Structure 1
């Protein structure tokens, strides 16, 4: 059976190398076709793709976002250096920004709220009755007396003083929402930023935050991202050239990575997917896998040429792929499975990343395991020609020889003991890893970025720039007028405001007491709800009678059937969101209502809570399935249950160390980091496949275990060391990105590569030497397979 499998593999390799011209032309033709498709792929962020499917919070948000405000709200703050906001220049700019926002593409003109908007009203009593009229619309105050009237109206209006004018009166807020599905983040960022800049200056600072601004900023940095990506590739080329000193050692791995990328992006276009700029680092990580496999083949080819074991380039290429095909294919299949399990997390962006990533990784079978050997058949002469005199080969051999001595000496026990201690320590510290955002502001940007500084300033002056609405769903029309419901809303608001991160709240229950007070000539004793549904209905009618259609939308629908309690948050860290959701659920459980019920939860905080809940459950599930897939692949490949457990060691070690690093650096497990984590499971073991298979190959040749370990490290280990050095050094360039997420992911990739390479060069050989697993060293019932095929003829 074994010989039959090797014979079929040999026949396949024969066919590929014999018809290598046609194979090359076929790959080129498909690459050109996929390249034309890849050139049309869009690079953009779609916020809807970031939200879980069929999650109750998202369903509530989608159902009520047009009324109570969605997750694409933008907040603009005008802050004065001297005096307060009740100055004509400040009010003029507030009006100018309010009007200019109406022309921003995709904005919902009915959801623009500010001192200068028609929606911002006060309730007054006169001889004609109760009237509701705009605070500062359509015109501005004409003199100091009218400004004083405006100030008095604001200070006596709890819907304005606090939510839209800061308590110190030095800042005013403008909020605007977008029509869901019509948001072009780049245009929104450019247009709103231009409006802000036009109104900045003369002692007035304008600050802007919101998801459209954030993702527009990410799109704004796309040019920089492309430059960093090209710089990374350039550094990779230079490092390969420095280390390999050959043209084919430099260009073939690069060609492998480019072909894989083109095929994957072309497939993404065929599937109707787009490329999110935040996952470009993930793309580099997958491309690194193609480069890694190609480097292994090139290194083995060069060894075959240098040793004289193969008389020509075709024979050397055949020997390289014959010996490395199994570990290479195992690495590809294991990585593809680890990425595919990300699709189990029901978030569209993660599903798309999983599908594109799986195609990308599987394309390595062609781009590296097929194309590289084919191209190597024409590189016999170049393998001996060196492009520069700098030779770091002796240094690499010294490092690898030192690793071999460490593994085969008494130090091997120290290696295993140290790895065990590191695993336990990092595993315990990894429990500090936070699900969701780990810091205030956006983790996508650096803490000192303008966006995060603006967010901090707005949260300091106001109740909070991040919002969550909890729907109060009545069981019949007019339910919101019931005293039980309104009192329940009031109690709920006070209960939630006890959480420090909740800066304040607003609801239908805040409007009626203000109207009641006006009816009683402004007497604060009567600022309370009505005692019956009829009385509350009358108060609501008095407020609505002077309003325009839609003015009450952010509080309740026209039928008084559904209302919203809007909570303002000063940050959306994972712990903040989990605490808030837990408090809401506890209140609902303890305070049931007869006429209505609370529904969780809309707004940005609501949908982010849904994302965090899905990631918390999906992370454990994805890691569990990825590990299960890895064990299954190893068991099937080596026909040994021990093999599956054996190769889990570097995976678990790399994950605990990386998770502990994320916890130490306050990098949360969120929708942007999860794909890198899932791919890292496969990345943690790829190098080990090559080294362990190299040990098996040495034993095939009749070497002792000590000799086999040394030859594997000097052979396959050289490819591992070259790949690790080049990729780690080049990926560090991402740390210069203006996007913190890209910088963090670059460091994470470098860390994963380092742990993977160290495990492959030191830990795994030490484990083989100490434990001598049967699937490596052989045993009764488990004879070592021969790596060569008896009677195999090299193709002409």
Structure 2
């Protein structure tokens, strides 16, 4: 190093901020410390396992869920349960054969003893609690559907047929066409002191399916536990997409830098960021559920984005003749403020998801914020330290020098977005797009918009099984339960039963309700049975002794020991968002008019009731979360740049992207739900990085005396190309999710790809247009000082 270079280096060192000196004056110490941390967290990361929980997916503080949790012991089978359907496949055959009943018994016995199944609550034709009753001249007769005398003979099968027809189970446990029956298995959340492992339980169900399915009989399975198990199995394929993204990113990085070191080191540091994140999650006691499995992918993508900025800045500094160390230091110096601001904005933006009282979303927020936070160390600290020893390749330096000296026609044309004749047209187009987006986003709905399980593909095995049940059973799997509380031992009171009867009549005539069932309905049928089955007597009696006798004949599960709860079961046609809103509003209106000391109507249990509560929580938090994330990002930009003009230049393009994304969701039929809500915060958090980097460099050139178009042109030549590269790279990476077997992952891939591209376009296109007017006085003064540029 010559004396002049030493003098220049010493001068640059004196100008360095204290943080830079602390880091680069002790490089071996920092590298050794980071290496030890990486090794330790890697040992933790390999222990992270997929997990899921029923309670994590529901808003536990919502009034509906609080009511359900308080009464869940009295509503066994109406919460978390699976349905195993045993079907006959032979043409013309039905369930009334010795072979079928034997197969059903084998399945019933297997299911009862699965870990996680509430054995005493399992229902099937083989369960002694499933009984038949009939009215005779001598009164009521009844017994188990499958009597003790059953031996598989033709006579006993005929008795079985009669019992099934008299049991009232056709359409409930028995298919309308008598070609299948259901084994209903309620689940418990804890098994041997540990949370139920849904993936293991789902695999156990698949083993039953494989063992008992053949050409004669088939097993179909639906229920929350099976759905979550399928989601976990499908979501684990994200590792395959991660490898694809890794390969694509490496190829693009190499084409961008033409340097192997500059391509592989950012990828290594980005993978280290993922390892750190997973290791810290393990230390905090978290796992990965189907919804948060994509977060490591996003962390990798964000890390690559910031890593490219560092490599790009180093190549530029090295092309000015600086040594490896000084190039790394200057790159760090120029980027660490903007980089930390961008990453802190990302992290805080993700943390706004904590306002949504659904644990799976809150854990996703923590995982994402944690991952972004570690990028500050892995890609803004570790990467420059490594590159200060290795440096960028000569090819990359020569290419950067050539690009710096050459005029770029592409960037020159794009720089005209800042021109006084182009900027107003850009803003007008943005305004039109914003209006179109607002009109389109007005159609956006909360909750599911499709039948079956919208998290899975329509042709998935689960959705095909669900369609079979919906098609062949009168009672759908979408159940909403209204809990009617009475005083203790008051469930037999006429006033309570009559109020329930009025609710049932109202709900049977409501669009979207397939049918109803309640103690009041059954009691009326029993009273008619007491009177020789005459339909004229099928009504509630005011005689308490008659009601007492009739209520004593209720089946198990319809009355609790304290006799202070009357469940009203509504079988819905589907669980679409508008159906749930219509039904719950009708019930709430009825409750407001009819609640009394005798009966208090409360929502809600059942799968549809839980989903209605989840939709309400998301609707409550969605707008607040969006406002808060923008407020936080705006505040951080304001604190950093100390200019409200900077806030508008950086944040306004993000707002356009959010509006257009919501319009796209409405157009594609994607509702706002647990799986898609985080995309909005993630898109804003990641998108702000582009604007921060561009505005930071643009303001630097403006302070150096350049006019707006020259400053923007030079910004594009340096930071702009890195922003466009990372935007396209991230979009291509998440675009691979479209091929996932999990539909919500594919939906997230579509939405994030859209947001990455539009955030990049917004930063490159709209930011300079806003700058033209918001930095008006400064721009006019410098434009007048540089008339040649305006002429161009």
**Cα distance in structure 1, aligned partners of 2:154 and 2:477:** 31
1:714 and 2:717 aligned = yes
Aligned to 2:706: 703
**By how many angstroms is 1:150 displaced?**
3.4
SS of 1:215 mapped into structure 2: helix
1:109 has 2:112 as partner: no
2:190 matches 1:181: yes
Q: 1:250 aligns with which of 242, 252, 263?
A: 263
Mean Cα displacement is larger for which, 692-701 or 295-304? 692-701
Between the aligned partners of 1:501 and 1:141, the Cα distance in structure 2 is 43
**1:93 pairs with 85, 88, 103, which one?**
103
Q: Which residue of 2 aligns with 1:27?
A: 34
With over 3 angstroms needed to count, the CA separation of the structure-2 counterparts of 1:244 and 1:137, relative to structure 1, is: farther
Q: 1:282·1:676 contact (CA, 8 Å) conserved in 2? A: no
Q: Residue 524 and residue 115 in structure 1: after superposition, are their counterparts in 2 closer, same or farther (change >3 A)?
A: farther
Does 2:645 match 1:642?
Answer: yes
- Are the aligned partners of 1:253 and 1:295 in contact in 2 as well (CA < 8 Å)? yes
What is aligned with 2:46? 39
Distance 1:86 1:529 in 2: 36
What's the CA shift for 1:169? 3.6
Counterpart of 1:331 in structure 2 is 342
CA contact (8 A) 1:86 1:151 kept: yes
The SS at the match of 1:563 is: strand
* Helix, strand or coil at the partner of 2:291: helix
Q: Deviation of residue 690 (structure 1)?
A: 1.0
- What is the distance in 1 between the residues matched to 2:587 and 2:180? 31
The residue number in structure 2 matching 1:464 is 476
Query: Which residue number in structure 2 is paired with residue 556 of structure 1?
Result: 559
Q: For residues 138 and 458 of structure 1, what CA distance do their matches in structure 2 show? A: 29
Aligned to 2:634: 631
Write the mapping of 1:281-360 to structure 2, written as runs, cut at 5 A: 281-306=294-319, 308=320, 310-360=321-371
Aligned 8 A contact 1:247 1:387 in 2: no
Alignment of 1:148-187 (within 5 A): 148-158=158-168, 160-182=169-191, 183-187=196-200
Alpha-carbon shift at residue 83 of structure 1 (Å): 4.7
**Structure 1 CA distance, aligned partners of 2:581 and 2:139?**
47
Larger mean CA deviation between 147-156 and 29-38 belongs to 147-156
Q: Which residue of 1 aligns with 2:616?
A: 613
Which residue of structure 2 lines up, in the alignment, with residue 791 of structure 1? none
Q: Do the aligned partners of residues 726 and 58 (structure 1) sit closer, same or farther apart at CA in structure 2, a change above 3 Å counting?
A: same
- The residue number in structure 2 matching 1:671 is 674
Contact kept, 8 Å, 1:433 with 1:668, in 2: the verdict is yes
Which of 730, 733, 741 is residue 730 of structure 1 equivalent to?
Answer: 733
- Indicate yes or no: 2:540 matched with 1:535: no
Residue-by-residue CA offset, 1:715-751 (whole Å, 9 max, x unaligned): 1001112212222122221111111111111122111
Decide whether the 8 Å contact of 1:253 with 1:292 is kept in 2.
no
Deviations 1:385-428 (A, max 9, x none): 6999xx99999955433322344373433322211111110122
Q: Which runs of 5+ in 1 are unaligned?
A: 1-5, 545-550, 781-796
Which one is further off, 747-756 or 482-491? 482-491
- Structure 2 distance, partners of 1:107, 1:333, is 45
The alpha-carbon deviation at position 764 of structure 1 amounts to: 0.9
What do residues 531-555 of structure 1 show as CA deviations (whole Å, max 9, x unaligned)?
Answer: 32221111233x26xxxxxx62x21
Separation (CA, whole Å) in 2 of partners of 1:773 and 1:331: 26
Query: How many aligned positions are there?
Result: 760
Superposed counterparts of 1:3-18, under 5 Å: 10-18=17-25
Secondary structure of the residue aligned to 2:171 is coil
Are residues 1:512 and 2:523 paired? yes
Which aligned pairs between 1:138-153 and structure 2 lie closer than 5 A?
Answer: 138=148, 140=150, 142-153=152-163
TM value normalised by structure 2 = 0.90
The offset of 1:174, in angstroms, is 2.6
Distance 1:623 1:348 in 2: 19
CA contact (8 A) 1:123 1:515 kept: no
User: What is the CA–CA distance in structure 1 between the aligned matches of 2:340 and 2:136, rounded to whole Å?
Assistant: 83
CA displacement at 1:706 relative to structure 2: 1.4
Q: Which one of the candidate residues 756, 764, 771 is aligned to 2:759?
A: 756
Q: 1:667 to 1:489 in 2, by over 3 A?
A: same
Equivalent in the alignment of 2:74: 67
Change (3 A) 1:516 1:201: farther
Q: Contact (CA 8 Å) 1:245, 1:386: kept in 2 or not?
A: no
Deviation digits for residues 499-530 of structure 1 (CA, Å, limit 9, x no counterpart) = 34322222212332333344334444433333
Matched residue, 1:794: none
Cα distance change, pair 83–514 in 1 and its aligned pair in 2 (3 A): farther
Shift of 1:490: 2.3
Work out whether residues 112 and 185 of structure 2, in 8 Å CA contact, stay in contact via their aligned partners in 1.
Answer: no
Within the candidate set 431, 438, 459, 1:448 is matched to 459
Structure 2 gap ranges (5+) = 1-12, 783-792
Contact 1:631–1:643 (8 Å) recurs in 2: no
Secondary structure of 1:12's aligned partner: helix
Q: Which moved more, 1:743-752 or 1:135-144?
A: 135-144
SS in 2 for 1:370: helix
Report the equivalent of 1:787: none
CA drift of 1:125 comes to 5.2
Partner residue in 1 for 2:378: 367
Whole-Å separation in 2 of the counterparts to 1:396 and 1:434: 49
Offset, 1:752 = 1.1
The alpha carbon displacement at 1:700 in A equals: 3.0
Aligned to 2:3: none
Deviations 1:170-205 (A, max 9, x none): 443331111133432122212222323433344544
1:691 to 684, 691, 694: 694
Report which stretch shifted further, 530-539 or 513-522.
513-522
Deviation, 1:625, is 1.0
> Which residue of the partner structure matches residue 785 of structure 1?
none
Distance in 2 of aligned mates of 1:73 and 1:779: 71
Distance 1:778 1:596 in 2: 74
- Taking a change above 3 Å as real, the CA distance of residues 381 and 211 of structure 1, as seen in their structure-2 partners, is closer
1:401 aligns with 2:412: yes
Is 711-720 or 492-501 further displaced after alignment? 492-501
Aligned match of 1:790: none
* Partners of 2:457 and 2:157 in 1: CA distance: 40
Q: 1:642 to 1:699 in 2, by over 3 A?
A: closer
Q: Are the structure 2 counterparts of residues 386 and 334 from structure 1 closer, same or farther at C-alpha, using a change threshold of 3 Å?
A: closer
Residue 274 of structure 1 and its aligned partner are, at CA, apart by 1.5
- How far off is 1:687 after superposition? 0.3
Residues 298, 381 of structure 1: alpha-carbon distance in 2 compared, 3 angstrom cutoff: closer
Measure the CA separation in 2 of the matches of 1:432 and 1:55: 26
Separation (CA, whole Å) in 2 of partners of 1:300 and 1:511: 76
Of residues 120-129 and 268-277 in structure 1, the stretch that sits farther from structure 2 once superposed is 120-129
For residues 26 and 721 of structure 2, what CA distance do their matches in structure 1 show?
Answer: 30
Partner secondary structure for residue 207 of structure 1: strand
Separation in 1 of the partners of 2:257 and 2:697? 20
Are the counterparts in 1 of residues 332 and 380 from structure 2 also a CA contact under 8 Å? yes
Partner of 1:792: none
- The alignment yields a C-alpha RMSD, in angstroms, of 2.8
Q: How much has 1:138 moved relative to structure 2?
A: 4.8
What do the CA deviations read for 1:635-686 (whole angstroms, capped 9, x no partner)?
Answer: 1111122332332211211111111111111222111222222121222321
Q: Provide the secondary structure at the position in 2 that maps to 1:77.
A: strand
SS of match in other structure, 2:220: strand
Indicate how the Cα distance of structure 1 residues 455 and 619 shifts in structure 2: closer, same or farther if over 3 A, else same: same
Indicate conservation of the 8 Å contact 1:706/1:769, yes or no.
Answer: no
Q: Secondary structure at 1:384's aligned position in 2?
A: helix
Q: Could you tell me how far 1:102 is from its partner in structure 2?
A: 0.9
